[in-house]
Structure 1
Amino acid sequence: MKYTQLGRTGLKVSRLVLGTMNFGPQTDEADSHAIMDAALGAGINFFDTANVYGWGENKGRTEEIIGSWFDQGGGRRDKTVLATKVYGNMSADADHVWPNHDRLSALNIRRAVEASLKRLRTDYIDVYQFHHIDRRTPFDEIWQAIDVLIQQGKILYAGSSNFPGYKIAQANEAAARRGMVGLVSEQCLYNLAERRAEMEVIPAAQEYGLGVIPWSPLHGGLLGGVLKKESEGKRRAAGRSADSLANTSVRAQVQAYEDLLDKHGLEPGETALAWLLTRPGVTGPIVGPRTAEQLESALRAVELELSPEVLAGLDEVFPGPGPSPEAFAW
């Protein structure tokens, strides 16, 4: 496994991030534990989760599965850089969504971190991430709450997820006024088929020293060889991938992508991950394996070197928007 610094921090993290969103809803506890063991064994030390994972009546379940894995000992917690998130409503009352159980008020941040620590069976969180912007809460209040948690030793760093570039700037300018480190990472939607983050989000992250952690690196399976799998009768596209492929221009683009990689003897999913690892500012993409086999495929991407010819071909098939303002002006 290869490692890098998380943004401008001294924290060393693996170039692949283990996403745990499938743990609970799609992968049972025993298999989830096996995947985490395999990931740690392969050198992946950066695990990402969120308090709402498990979803619906089972929200919080994913953190519980990770907590029971930590409880097995063997240095699991000490070897893991743990990131979780706060924002979604975690009210336990199914009949009424109570206020102050979501977003980024000082009250909810305090409540949410205590609940996450309990589910995760740990006394600290390495990277505590804001899952979404909160238009109602000023950053001074957010940073006051985070400062208290840092002083208490309950979190070490703060990160963002799904923030636009201007909010990254606002957040870190507000933190600087308080003499705080501010955001150290941004988790955003970024892949070959969805490159809008290159316009402002990634430049803002680089300017302020945030490590970029792309989620959905295969764009919901669209970049994982979906057409070849269909033709071989292995698996049909479903959900967002199926909706995208209903568009004939998107289908033609994906076909061109798969043809390019077939010409060079490359696997689509591994190539999509390897491409992200070449992008400026990227710490490492989040991989969310449902099985141990999917994890093995992701691990091969770290060692995959893409030739200039392949990189040029990928840019031709999936051209990025370019930086702003040139992307929309001159």
Structure 2
Amino acid sequence: MEYTQLGRTGLKVSRLVLGTMNFGPQTDEADSHAIMDAALDAGVNFIDTANVYGWGENKGRTESIIGNWLAKGGDRRDKVVLATKVYGNMGPDGPAWPNHDRLSALNIRRGVEASLKRLQTDHIDLYQFHHIDRNTPFEEIWQAVDVLVQQGKVLYAGSSNFPGYKIAQANEIAARRGGTIGLVSEQCLYNLAERRAEMEVIPAAQEYGLGVIPWSPLHGGLLGGALRKEREGGGSRSTSGRSADSLKDSALREQVQRYEDAVDKAGLQPGDVALAWLLGRPGVTGPIVGPRTREQLDSAVRAVDLRLPAELLAELDEIFPGPGPSPEAFAW
């Protein structure tokens, strides 16, 4: 496994991030623990989750599964960089109560305490804001984070799904306040088929020293051999959700077919190529992989050692051209 610094910090993380969104809803606790053990054995030390994972009446379930795994001991907690998120509503079932979601100082404090309890740990290495909160000023957010850092409950703060201007705003206000490091990472939707992050999000992250953590690196399975699996009658992710909806677009379907043909010609696997492409992109710390099985994890780990030939990279840019950085992407 390769390691890199998380943004401008001294923290070393694996080039693959183990995503856990499937733990609970699709993968039971025993299999989830087996996947985390296998990831650790492979050198993956970066585990990402969120307080809302488990969803609906089971929200928080994923953190609990991770917490039970950490409680098994064997230096599991000391070996991993643990990241979770706050924003989604974690209030009791029934009519929504105020102050159980978003990024008020009250909800950040409440969210941290609840996550620590479910995760069975005394600190969160990377605490991420799952979405922007237009109603809470960053002065309040950073005040809450500063207290948590002083208490030793949070080490670093990161963002997720932030536009470039919010990354800049957050870190400029952090710099003016002093005493806080500001955002150190941004978790965004980024893959071969969805490259809009290249316009402003990734340049902003690079300018402010944030590590970029792409989510959905296979675009919901679209880049994992979706058409091949469709022909073979397999791959549930290829026949539902974002992947299936995307394939209804004839132009995108043609792009995906060209992609799979190019990958086949190179003698490679589509999912491996999609991950390897991201690993070679400027500013990317590591993509989030969300395996539901041990086999899917093994496939993702292979991609770390894959170096794509220049001719294939050029062909991928022709098939999935990015928008280019702004303002050139939309101005002269």
Regarding TM over 0.5, the answer is yes
Q: How does 1:202-221 map to 2 (within 5 A)?
A: 202-221=202-221
| Deviation at residue 157 of structure 1 after TM alignment | 0.2
| Deviation at residue 233 of structure 1 after TM alignment | 2.5
Q: What residue is the counterpart of 1:28 in the other structure?
A: 28
Q: What residue is the counterpart of 2:283 in the other structure?
A: 281
Q: What residue is the counterpart of 1:324 in the other structure?
A: 326
Q: What residue is the counterpart of 1:108 in the other structure?
A: 107
Q: What residue is the counterpart of 1:248 in the other structure?
A: 250
Q: What residue is the counterpart of 2:260 in the other structure?
A: 258
What CA deviation, in whole Å up to 9, does each residue of 1:36-85 have, x standing for no partner? Answer: 00000000000000000000000000000000000000000000000000
TM-score by length of 1: 0.99
C-alpha distance in 1, partners of 2:136/2:34? 40
| Deviation at residue 229 of structure 1 after TM alignment | 1.2
| Deviation at residue 234 of structure 1 after TM alignment | 2.5
C-alpha distance in 2, partners of 1:232/1:245? 16
C-alpha distance in 2, partners of 1:247/1:170? 36
Q: What residue is the counterpart of 1:150 in the other structure?
A: 149
RMSD across aligned C-alpha pairs, in angstroms?
Answer: 0.6
User: Aligned to 1:319, what secondary structure does the other structure show?
Assistant: coil
User: Aligned to 1:327, what secondary structure does the other structure show?
Assistant: coil
Pair 1:132 & 2:134 matched:
no
What CA deviation, in whole Å up to 9, does each residue of 1:13-38 have, x standing for no partner? Answer: 00000000000000000000000000
What CA deviation, in whole Å up to 9, does each residue of 1:238-284 have, x standing for no partner? Answer: 12111111111111010000000111101000100000000000000
C-alpha distance in 1, partners of 2:247/2:172? 42
Q: What residue is the counterpart of 1:18 in the other structure?
A: 18
User: Aligned to 1:230, what secondary structure does the other structure show?
Assistant: helix
What CA deviation, in whole Å up to 9, does each residue of 1:127-185 have, x standing for no partner? Answer: 00000000000000000000000000000000000000000000000100111110000
User: Aligned to 1:269, what secondary structure does the other structure show?
Assistant: helix
User: Aligned to 1:157, what secondary structure does the other structure show?
Assistant: strand
User: Aligned to 1:295, what secondary structure does the other structure show?
Assistant: helix
Q: What residue is the counterpart of 1:74 in the other structure?
A: 74
C-alpha distance in 2, partners of 1:177/1:241? 43
User: Aligned to 2:239, what secondary structure does the other structure show?
Assistant: coil
C-alpha distance in 1, partners of 2:63/2:217? 22
Q: What residue is the counterpart of 1:165 in the other structure?
A: 164
Pair 1:45 & 2:45 matched:
yes
What CA deviation, in whole Å up to 9, does each residue of 1:197-239 have, x standing for no partner? Answer: 0000000000000000000000000000011112222335212
TM-score by length of 2: 0.98
Structure 1 portions without partners, runs of 5+: none
Letter in 1 for 2:219: H
C-alpha distance in 2, partners of 1:178/1:325? 30
Q: What residue is the counterpart of 1:294 in the other structure?
A: 296
What CA deviation, in whole Å up to 9, does each residue of 1:106-139 have, x standing for no partner? Answer: 0000000000000000000000000000000000
User: Aligned to 1:67, what secondary structure does the other structure show?
Assistant: helix
Letter in 2 for 1:229: K
C-alpha distance in 2, partners of 1:208/1:40? 30
| Deviation at residue 95 of structure 1 after TM alignment | 1.7
Structure 2 portions without partners, runs of 5+: none
Give the number of equivalent residue pairs: 329
User: Aligned to 1:259, what secondary structure does the other structure show?
Assistant: helix
Q: What residue is the counterpart of 1:222 in the other structure?
A: 222
Letter in 1 for 2:125: D
C-alpha distance in 1, partners of 2:127/2:234? 39
C-alpha distance in 2, partners of 1:202/1:18? 21
Pair 1:8 & 2:26 matched:
no
Letter in 2 for 1:81: V
User: Aligned to 1:126, what secondary structure does the other structure show?
Assistant: strand
Letter in 1 for 2:6: L
User: Aligned to 2:83, what secondary structure does the other structure show?
Assistant: strand
C-alpha distance in 1, partners of 2:44/2:216? 18
